[in-house]
Every structure is written in C-alpha cells, then in structure tokens.
Amino acid sequence: MQVYSEADTRFRAEVRAFIAEALPAEMARKARSGVALNREDYFGWQRILAEQGWLTPTWPAEHGGCGWTPIQQHIFEVESHLAGAPRIIPFGIKMVGPVIIHFGNEAQKAAYLPGIREATTWWCQGFSEPGAGSDLASLRTRAERDGDHYVINGQKTWTTYAQYADMIFFLARTKPDAPRKQEGISFFVARMDTPGITVRPITTLDGGHEINETFFEDVRIPAENLIGEENKGWSYAKFLLSNERAGIARVGEVRELIRDLHDMTESQPVGNGSLLDDPAFLRRVTSAEIDALAHEVTTLRLLSREQESGRPNPLTSVLKIRGSEVLGRLAELQMEVEGPLAACFRPSPAGDPELPQALLRPALKTGRYLNYRKFGIFGGTTEIQKNILAKTVLDLKG
C-alpha cells in the first residue's frame, strides 16, 4: 500500500540513515529514558542538525531553509522520535524565527537569525500572563517609550524553559487607550540578562521544572528591539500562533509511545507469562493504537491537502485536540503497564534518598502521565480549539 510518494519514501530512507549515523547513542539513551533533558542535551542535537542544514527546514532558502514539504517535515519528526532524538524546541525555530523573517528589519535578521539557525541562542515565549491565558489579548504588560528606549513593566507566566533562555520574545501594550484590546499591542525581544527581568521557577504537579514566571520591573530595552511596527503586535502573534498549531499533531511522539508501549507490555512479566497474555490489557493497547493510526492518517491527509492548496487549513484544530488526547492516553497506558508500581512517585523524607532500581521507570511513567495533562492546555486549549472548529468549519455562530 502506498501512502508516501516514491520521493518521500526515498527521503525517509535518507533521514533514517542520517539519524542512525549522527545521533550519539548516549544522547538517544538519555532522551528515551524519560529523565528531564537540559539545555545542552537539546542544543547538542540541534547543532548536529544545523551542520547538516536540517535545523530550520521551513525557513526561506536565503536564511538557511532546506525546502521540505509538510509531508517531509512530518517524516523527519516521526523518524527523529523513533530514533530517540531530543525533540526540537520550537520557540526560536518555529515561532520567533519566522516572525523576524517576515516582519523584522535587516538589522534584526542579522542579529537574531544566526543564533537560532546555529543553535546558540535559546529563546523563550512571553505571551501568557496570570490574567491573560486563552484571552491573550487582555494582556497587561506595558511598554512605554522613553527616548530611544522602551520601559517594560508587567508579569508573564508559564514561560517554558525561561531558565535556559538567552532571549525572550513577548507582547506588551504600547497604546493602553486603543479602542479594541487587540490594537495597541506590540511585539518585542529582549535579552534575558537585561536588568529588571527576573525568573521564578514554577514546580509542576509532576515535580518537574519546565515553566516559570517572568517578571519585568522597569526593564529598559533599546527601541530597536521592537519587531515590525508599533501596535501591530497582535497580527504578528496570530501569524506565530498559526505556525505553532501546525506542529501540534505530535505524531512523532505518538509513534514513539506506541512502539514503547508494545515493548513494555510484552516484556512486563506477570506470573509465568507477560502482560500481553492479558486480554483486557491487550484490548486497551490495541484500541489506543488504532486511535493513533486514525490520528496519523488524518494528519497526513490534512498536511497533503495543505501542501496542494498552499493555505493553512482550519481543520488543523482537529489535530491539536486529538493529538493531546492520544498522547494522554498512551502515557496513561504506559503507566498502567507498571501495575501497582504505577503508584510510586519520588523518594520519601522517611526513606532512602534514591528510589529502588525497579521503581525508577514506574516513577518516570507516572510523572510523565501527570505532565502530559499539559497538551490539552497550552497552544490553545481543547475548548478553544473546539470553539474555532464550531465557528470556522461547522459555521455555527455564537
């Protein structure tokens, strides 16, 4: 049965061969184990891709793009995950990079694009605020012009990996009295070491540290850190978010989780056999696998339609909704493979500083299950995606 074209099949073989050759075994082992990765783990792999010219495939050729079609990007993502490569952090490559390419001036392109392309500058995203989540346009962080500077005051939150970041891109209000709240917002970038920016870690329910609060207190940034025009930030943000949603099917990770779930089920001893002999469990694994199959094929179908028409497809929200659900379900099943050990979480104050060896994997699986609740929340919640579909596809007016 042919789903990929001849060319895409050859492309897959090429990608596979490259990753097999270039991905260091230790890097893959660490990424697959499920422990938290650090800045160097992520950047290490990104630099290898940068050398190959594969780090910024969607960028225009003159900025270092390699012209992959959406299907080829999809193939790359799946192969990367199956091989255990650290995932690509999107903030520079998929978010701020394209915004600078489209709306930045030549000086900004020269200043910022090389650091993204060569994986030397880590970017974080300062959009959300305590009072502005789904309703992003209600953000309150202010930027006031003062000579050839802007002075920033306000608070951002949920800033993923701010602790690793060299730079932040963010939205701030430049015209508080604008008639519509979407007007009067501007798009800025700033160095994270600018005086007045502080980062406070947020511990997530799985005990991890990947998100932060970011405070701006009388932060003076040069006026040339404004991207595009003043008060046009909302349209740049919408452009950015449409790019963010495109990668949100997470099919690569789904495939990795399915494969691992099979391996885990088969090698999980139960009495004299394995968990695979348990028809109730097998049924649930199989049912999740078919959900994943439907999701991947839907992704491919929508991607190829997009490839033909050259226009973003509003049905993309289907991929975000279902991708979150499938990933959540797979993480749950991997946790359930562990049986009673799934209840293990972390060392106790009354016990040993380390978990017993046999409980390391269960604790990671349970932590990940909890962590994966995030997929239904960031990048536009499931409810917001459903609002979009109801309005744009079903044409139901509220």
Ligand X SMILES: Cc1cc2nc3c(=O)[nH]c(=O)nc-3n(C[C@H](O)[C@H](O)[C@H](O)COP(=O)(O)OP(=O)(O)OC[C@H]3O[C@@H](n4cnc5c(N)ncnc54)[C@H](O)[C@@H]3O)c2cc1C
CA 305 to CA 311: how far, in whole Å?
9
CB of 90 to ligand X, least distance (A): 9
Q: What angle do CA 281, 286, 287 make, to 5 degrees?
A: 100
Question: Is 244 an active-site residue?
Answer: yes
- Greatest Cα pair distance in the chain: 77
Among residues 8, 73, 345, 379, the one that binds another protein under rule CB under 8 A: 345
CA 43 to CA 86: how far, in whole Å?
9
CA 283 to CA 279: how far, in whole Å?
6
DSSP reduced 3-state for 128: coil
Among residues 144, 149, 378, 379, the one that binds another protein under rule CB under 8 A: 378
Question: Is the CB of residue 101 less than 8 Å from the CB of residue 145?
Answer: no
239 interface partner picked from another protein, ligand X, none, CB below 5 to 8 A per type = none
Residue 236 phi, psi dihedral angles, 5° rounding: -70, -40
Question: Is the CB of residue 234 less than 8 Å from the CB of residue 182?
Answer: yes
Question: Is the CB of residue 293 less than 8 Å from the CB of residue 224?
Answer: no
Judged by the rule CB under 6 A, the positions of this chain that interact with ligand X are 125-128, 133-134, 158-160, 211, 374, 377-378, 381, 383-384, 387
Q: Which of 129, 210, 244, 338 is catalytic?
A: 244
CB of 168 to another protein, least distance (A): 18
**Element of type H or E holding 197:** strand 197-202
Q: Contact letters (x/-) for another protein, 272-311, by CB under 8 A?
A: ------x-xx------------------------------
User: Which residues neighbour 121 within 8 Å (Cβ) at sequence distance 6 or greater?
Assistant: 92, 112, 115, 166, 167
- Pick out residues in 200-239 that bind another protein (CB under 8 A): 202-205, 207, 211
2 interface partner picked from ligand X, another protein, none, CB below 5 to 8 A per type = none
CB of 57 to another protein, least distance (A): 30
CB of 294 to ligand X, least distance (A): 24
Give whichever of 127 and 236 is closer to ligand X, judged by the CB atom: 127
Q: Contact letters (x/-) for another protein, 167-206, by CB under 8 A?
A: -----------------------------------xxxx-
CA atoms within 13 A on the CB side of 179: 0
CA 249 to CA 327: how far, in whole Å?
10
Q: Contact letters (x/-) for another protein, 357-376, by CB under 8 A?
A: -xx---x--x--xxx-xx-x
| Residue 69 interacting with another protein (CB under 8 A) | no
CA 251 to CA 234: how far, in whole Å?
29
CA 90 to CA 388: how far, in whole Å?
23
Give whichever of 80 and 128 is closer to another protein, judged by the CB atom: 128
Interaction site with another protein (CB under 8 A): 128, 131, 133-135, 138, 157-158, 202-205, 207, 211, 269-271, 278, 280-281, 328, 332, 336, 339-352, 355-356, 358-359, 363, 366, 369-371, 373-374, 376-378, 381-383, 386-387
The residues annotated as belonging to the active site are 244
